Structure 1
Amino acid sequence: MRTVIFGTYDTAMHPRIATIAEGLAARGFDVAECNIPLGLSTADRVDMLAKPWKAAGLAVRLGNRWLGLAVKARKLGRPDAVVVGYLGHFDVHLARLLYRRGKVPIVLDHLISAAGTAKDRRIAGGGLKTRLLTLIDSAALRAADIVVVDTEEHLETVPDKYRAKAVVVHVGAPAPWFTAARDETAVGPAADPAAPVKVVFYGLYTPLQGTPVIGEALGRIAGAPVEVTMIGRGQDEAETKRLAAASQSVRWLDWVPAAELPALVAAHDVCLGIFGTGDKALRVVPNKVFQGAAAGCAVVTSDTAPQRRVLGEAAVLVPPGDPAALADALLRLAEDREALLKLRHAAHQLAAERFTPEQVVGPLTDRLLPPHAGA
């Protein structure tokens, strides 16, 4: 089945679409890419949508990319399906226009709504801005034939009239994360009990991630045999650093190139997930949870319904927004290296069984393939 992965997405910022493409290829799909990154972060995109006076700049940039995508699409010919990468709220309309002949099914990777993202990042608190973003979401959902979401909780937020065409596809982790675990022997012999436990977090310091919770937890365990690497920049960064100031064992890094991130994470013992308390934080299982598990790290993240359902006993779950519980969890892992090693093995095994690209795209391929395929 010839499938085009389409849009202005950027896999360095949002690897989700790369995982979908890899999974489809692993299942025998003939996958081609029609991609020209927009060059804007998620925050930039949503900010432009929420501020009409910035919309002209977005339109000019988007129009330039669309011209290039149209040329690429023509060269690729007619596919059997098109998958529009996140954030594809506008790209899905171009895909519908370019592939209107032949009834090519259009799949929209609707990882999260524009309105939901704006609310989480405190860009739009309600009123006219939120209504505008909700209309943009609705138009995108209407244009797609299949809508991909990442959790059952996000499926419930899809409007009733579009929910029948939605399918849950877990985020998963691309192959380099599994390779990094093998290369770094991250699931090998127990670490030296005299060495500090190495903990890593990476992200954009958004409210969903709850990084001030991490910062306060690190401040509470100052002096413990725990070394922490915090990677990224973002809106809650300053507050996180302030709360962690008591600890001298925290290394702060700007964003690491995507190609280098798996090996860096795999060199740690523990990967931190998210700890926010907002609506969005309670509905997601983030990239870093799947990726950290694939890389052979023990995963410590918030105890929410979707994360509990996906991770089970293969992770340490703490109440959202609770720095004391997070601090206690890290201290226990530092004191019990055998338990730490068991968690690393359990996370990696779970990822190998359920989080590979080939595994996570199963529900999507079931929707794309005709009933008689493979019979």
Structure 2
Amino acid sequence: MHIVAFGTYDVASHPRVAVLIEGLRACGAEVTEVNRPLGLDTAARVAILRQPWRLPLLVLRLLVCWSGLVGESLRRRRDRRPDAVLVGYLGHFDVHLARLLHPRSTILLDHMVSAAGVATNRRLAGSGGLKLRLMKAIDAMALKQADVVVVDTAEQQQALPEDVRRHSVVCPVGATSEWFDAGARALERPTDAPLKAVFVGLFSPTHGVPVIADALDILADDERIEVTMVGQGQQYDEARRLAAGNPRVSWVDWVDAEELPDFVAGFDVSLGIFGTVPQARRVVPNKAFQGAAAGAVVVTSDTAPQRRMLESAAMLVSPGSPEELASALTKLADDPDEAQRLREAAYEQAREHYTPQAVASPILEVLS
């Protein structure tokens, strides 16, 4: 089966599509990439929603990327028509071009996050405002173009319109092989004092970083716990203010994607998400899968999808509860043996269920 991974996706910012590509290849499919990264992450797109006068920048960059996509697609199509086209994450606009260029191929849309969901979570639109109606229209038009819609949890699937749900498939986010390689090496290192935890993310409301920061403030006097916060975003300044009293917190602007697996594998704990917005209750973030694959204890919020997918291989705390998060980190610092057991359990859980091949196999089942 020949599948084209298509769009303006950026695996450095959103590794989801890289997992699917690796997994489809591991399952025996021939996958070629036709990709022109847009260079605008979720935060930049949100800024455009907040400041509509920036919209011409998005349109211009999209047209430049699309011109490259059209040229390469036409050259490749002369040799062989793809059986399916996988439009990468944040492909709300790319899916229309994919349908135009490949009218006889099966179009797969990786729809992990809806535009309307982003607008609601980031308080960009009221319940009936013009912006929200526009985002819903963008979602509806994108979903209409897809033959198969790919989501990451059953909860995300249930949030789809009923007619779309019938031709959707659930593929967890998972992690690429580099994370598992890093995890195998990391487990050779025993858990020892001080307990080292890491958060990597874009500081969005879904992540609930102020909850982490409040927990760090509670732990300000505990010398056994060190935390590194990686990334920047909407709630970054608030998080720094709330955690300012803890001298054992380090702030890192970003870590290159190539270095990230070994970087995270150097920690005992990987912090997940703790937000209370609706989106936070429907997803399992890539940082949870990556942290588990890297051989770290996953500490994240106790939501239905995370409880189901991570099972006993994680420490779960109530969403929005800094007290429970602080208590979980204290327990791990108190009992290094239990922390080591959870590290190993997390790795085994990820290796059994969330390798690229395991994640992508439902797509080939649908296509078959």
Verify same fold: TM over 0.5.
yes
In structure 2, distance between residues paired with 1:237 and 1:48? 19
1:83 aligned onto 2:115: no
Equivalences for residues 217-228 of structure 1 within 5 A: 217-224=215-222, 225-228=224-227
Equivalences for residues 54-65 of structure 1 within 5 A: 54-65=54-65
Distance 1:339 1:254, change over 3 A: same
3-state DSSP class of the match of 1:87?
coil
Match of 2:170 among 168, 171, 187: 168
Q: Which moved more, 1:359-368 or 1:271-280?
A: 359-368
Write the deviation string for residues 191-217 of structure 1: whole angstroms up to 9, x where unpaired: 33xx20010001011111010100010
Give the letter for the 1:228 counterpart: V
1:71 aligned onto 2:71: yes
> Which residue of structure 1 lines up, in the alignment, with residue 117 of structure 2?
116
In structure 2, distance between residues paired with 1:46 and 1:234? 11
Give the TM-score taking structure 1 as reference length. 0.95
Equivalences for residues 345-360 of structure 1 within 5 A: 345-360=344-359
Distance 1:253 1:348, change over 3 A: same
3-state DSSP class of the match of 1:259?
coil
Give the letter for the 2:328 counterpart: A
User: Any conservation in 2 of the 1:50–1:124 contact (CA below 8 Å)?
Assistant: no
User: Any conservation in 2 of the 1:46–1:114 contact (CA below 8 Å)?
Assistant: no
Runs of 5+ consecutive residues of structure 1 not aligned to the other structure: 370-375
> Which residue of structure 2 lines up, in the alignment, with residue 372 of structure 1?
none
Write the deviation string for residues 116-173 of structure 1: whole angstroms up to 9, x where unpaired: 0121122233411000010000000000000001111111110112111111110000
3-state DSSP class of the match of 2:82?
coil
Shift of 1:51: 5.3
In structure 2, distance between residues paired with 1:204 and 1:134? 23
> Which residue of structure 1 lines up, in the alignment, with residue 214 of structure 2?
216
> Which residue of structure 1 lines up, in the alignment, with residue 23 of structure 2?
23
User: Any conservation in 2 of the 1:50–1:133 contact (CA below 8 Å)?
Assistant: no
> Which residue of structure 1 lines up, in the alignment, with residue 361 of structure 2?
362
In structure 2, distance between residues paired with 1:326 and 1:50? 32
Shift of 1:346: 0.3
User: Any conservation in 2 of the 1:8–1:91 contact (CA below 8 Å)?
Assistant: yes
Write the deviation string for residues 8-61 of structure 1: whole angstroms up to 9, x where unpaired: 010011000000000000000001000000111112224435655433322221
Counting matched residue pairs gives 363
User: Any conservation in 1 of the 2:200–2:287 contact (CA below 8 Å)?
Assistant: yes
> Which residue of structure 2 lines up, in the alignment, with residue 33 of structure 1?
33
Shift of 1:338: 0.7
User: Any conservation in 2 of the 1:106–1:145 contact (CA below 8 Å)?
Assistant: yes
1:263 aligned onto 2:265: no
Distance 1:2 1:50, change over 3 A: farther
1:107 aligned onto 2:105: no
In structure 2, distance between residues paired with 1:164 and 1:26? 27
Distance 1:90 1:189, change over 3 A: closer
Shift of 1:190: 2.6
Write the deviation string for residues 277-296 of structure 1: whole angstroms up to 9, x where unpaired: 11000000000000000000
> Which residue of structure 1 lines up, in the alignment, with residue 195 of structure 2?
197
Runs of 5+ consecutive residues of structure 2 not aligned to the other structure: none
User: Any conservation in 2 of the 1:203–1:231 contact (CA below 8 Å)?
Assistant: yes
Write the deviation string for residues 200-255 of structure 1: whole angstroms up to 9, x where unpaired: 00101111101010001011112320111100001111111111112111110001
> Which residue of structure 2 lines up, in the alignment, with residue 373 of structure 1?
none
Shift of 1:317: 0.1
In structure 2, distance between residues paired with 1:75 and 1:180? 38
Shift of 1:181: 1.4
Distance 1:345 1:140, change over 3 A: same
User: Any conservation in 1 of the 2:299–2:315 contact (CA below 8 Å)?
Assistant: yes
3-state DSSP class of the match of 1:28?
coil
Give the letter for the 1:95 counterpart: A
Equivalences for residues 220-239 of structure 1 within 5 A: 220-224=218-222, 225-239=224-238
Give the TM-score taking structure 2 as reference length. 0.96
Give the letter for the 1:148 counterpart: V
In structure 1, distance between residues paired with 2:236 and 2:9? 25
Q: Percent identity?
A: 54
User: Any conservation in 1 of the 2:272–2:299 contact (CA below 8 Å)?
Assistant: yes
3-state DSSP class of the match of 2:227?
strand
User: Any conservation in 1 of the 2:292–2:343 contact (CA below 8 Å)?
Assistant: yes
Match of 2:100 among 71, 82, 97: 97
In structure 2, distance between residues paired with 1:297 and 1:279? 27
In structure 2, distance between residues paired with 1:204 and 1:46? 12
In structure 2, distance between residues paired with 1:165 and 1:315? 32
3-state DSSP class of the match of 1:122?
coil
Write the deviation string for residues 56-110 of structure 1: whole angstroms up to 9, x where unpaired: 322221111111001111222211110000100000000000011xx20000000
